[in-house]
Amino acid sequence: MRPTQAAFPATRLRRLRKSAALRDMVQENTLTPADFIWPVFVRDGENVVEPISSMPGVNRLSVDQVVKAAKDAHALGIPAICLFPYTDPSLKTEDCAEAWNPDNLSNRATRAIKDAVPDMAVMTDVALDPYNSNGHDGFVEDGYVVNDRTVEALVKQALSQARAGSDIIGPSDMMDGRIGALRGALEAEGHTNVALLSYSAKYASAFYGPFRDAVGASGALTGDKKGYQMNPGNSDEAMRLIERDLREGADMVMVKPGMPYLDICRRAKDMFGAPTFAYQVSGEYAMLAGASERGWLDGERAMMESLLCFKRAGCDGILTYFAPAAAKILNG
Ligand code: PBG
């Protein structure tokens, strides 16, 4: 697109920035609470709200508290909540069997939310890391995260989530072929309307640090995830991954992290036009919340600006830990 305009002074672009009324009138992108998916951390126990030190303002919640949080989020107009379990270390094993236990934390939380707030969409995470004694998203054999055997386990995990009532399954593991395998298994078992939001372009990022604390995976992780997550230097590869996932049956795609990867969001939206989401990850949250706590940034303004930028970059929605705080501001 190449806007046509007269030369100065016939055109003065500042005319439309003169007052709030005019600025609002020509604003190209807007945020609403419906743009948010809210990631929450679930832990065992009852009536527990446990702060996470590297994510000021974010807590691990017991299932009853997650239900309360889901009700509040629903009242704010947030359409979806995404569950991440903090798994007791004693349940982390090399075979990761807890991942498909019908009564694991994630599945219990899903059932409780769907019972209490049926209109709230529940998204669940598919990857083995919360259940793996070595912290990786897949099975490790001879120091390598193996693909095909991992995909078989991911299918079992996703089916257990679908049976528990998950509306959106988010594979965050970055194995090859998992979208096709998951879609086939969901169809075969009659879960025809369970949506797949694929973490298609997930980079091996330093910005996941606080999340790994939050789910208790930092201590467990041996090595790094560069053998399956993307190289931050690549952009064309992201388009290949997104195209492949759409062809295998993904309903929506995701770019992760968010703010450092807005170029990837824009390219993805322009190239494929599919529902595109960005994950404003834990490290992005920690930077903004930490600086705001120290008085180095106007936290509210920085939060709202960071979220609006995702819309400008072409995203249809954002996974963000700021979801309730931002929704409150948007609702006035
Ligand atoms: C793991 C997973 C990660 C995040 C979501 N799912 C971390 C990782 O890949 O190590 C990160 C989210 C965040 O940082 O907020 N399957």
Write out pLDDT tens, residues 297-330: 999 999 999 999 999 999 999 999 999 999 999 9
Measured in Å, residue 279 CA sits from the centre of ligand 1 at 10
Q: Percent of the chain scored above 70 by pLDDT?
A: 99
For the chain, the structural domain boundaries read 31-330
Nearest CA to ligand 1 atom 7: 208
28 CA distance to ligand 1 centroid (A)? 31
pLDDT at 217: 73
Q: Which residue's C-alpha comes closest to atom 8 of ligand 1?
A: 208
Q: What is the pLDDT of residues 128-146, one digit of tens each?
A: 999 999 999 999 999 999 9
Q: Is the pLDDT at 220 greater than 80, yes or no? A: no
Q: Which CATH number fits domain 31-330: 3.20.20.70, 3.40.640.10, 3.30.70.100, 3.30.479.10?
A: 3.20.20.70
Among protein residues, the one whose CA lies closest to atom 5 of ligand 1: 172
Q: pLDDT-based confidence at 213, cuts 50/70/90?
A: confident
Backbone φ and ψ of 180, nearest 5°: -60, -45
How many Å lie between the centroid of ligand 1 and the Cα of residue 208? Answer: 6
Quote the mean pLDDT of the chain.
96
Contact, 46 vs 62, CB < 8 A? yes
15: pLDDT confidence band, cut at 50, 70 and 90? Answer: very high
Strand ranges in 163-269 using DSSP code E only, listed in sequence order = 168-171, 195-202, 252-256
Residue 294 pLDDT > 90: yes
Report pTM.
0.97
Residue 98 near ligand 1, beta carbon < 6 Å: no
Angle value at C-alpha 249, between 313 and 233, nearest 5 degrees: 45
Q: Decide: 161 in ligand 1 pocket, CB within 6 A.
A: no
Question: 318 exposed, middle or buried (CB, 10 Å; 0-12, 13-18, 19+)?
Answer: buried
Cα–chain center distance at 31: 17
pLDDT given at position 29: 98
pLDDT at residue 70 tops 90? yes
- Measured distance CA(280)–CA(31) in Å, rounded: 15
**Coil, strand or helix: which one is 171?**
strand
Q: What's residue 216's pLDDT?
A: 78
CA 17 – CA 25 distance, rounded (Å): 10
Residue with tokens 């807007």: 30
Q: What is the DSSP string of 199-218?
A: EEEEB--GGGHHHHHHTT-T
Instruction: Assess whether the C-beta atom of 306 lies below 6 angstroms from ligand 1.
Output: no
Is 55 a residue whose pLDDT tops 90?
yes
Least confident of 77-91, 208-222, 239-253, 254-268: 208-222
- The contacts of residue 274 (CB under 8 Å, 6+ apart) are 242, 246, 250, 252, 253, 268
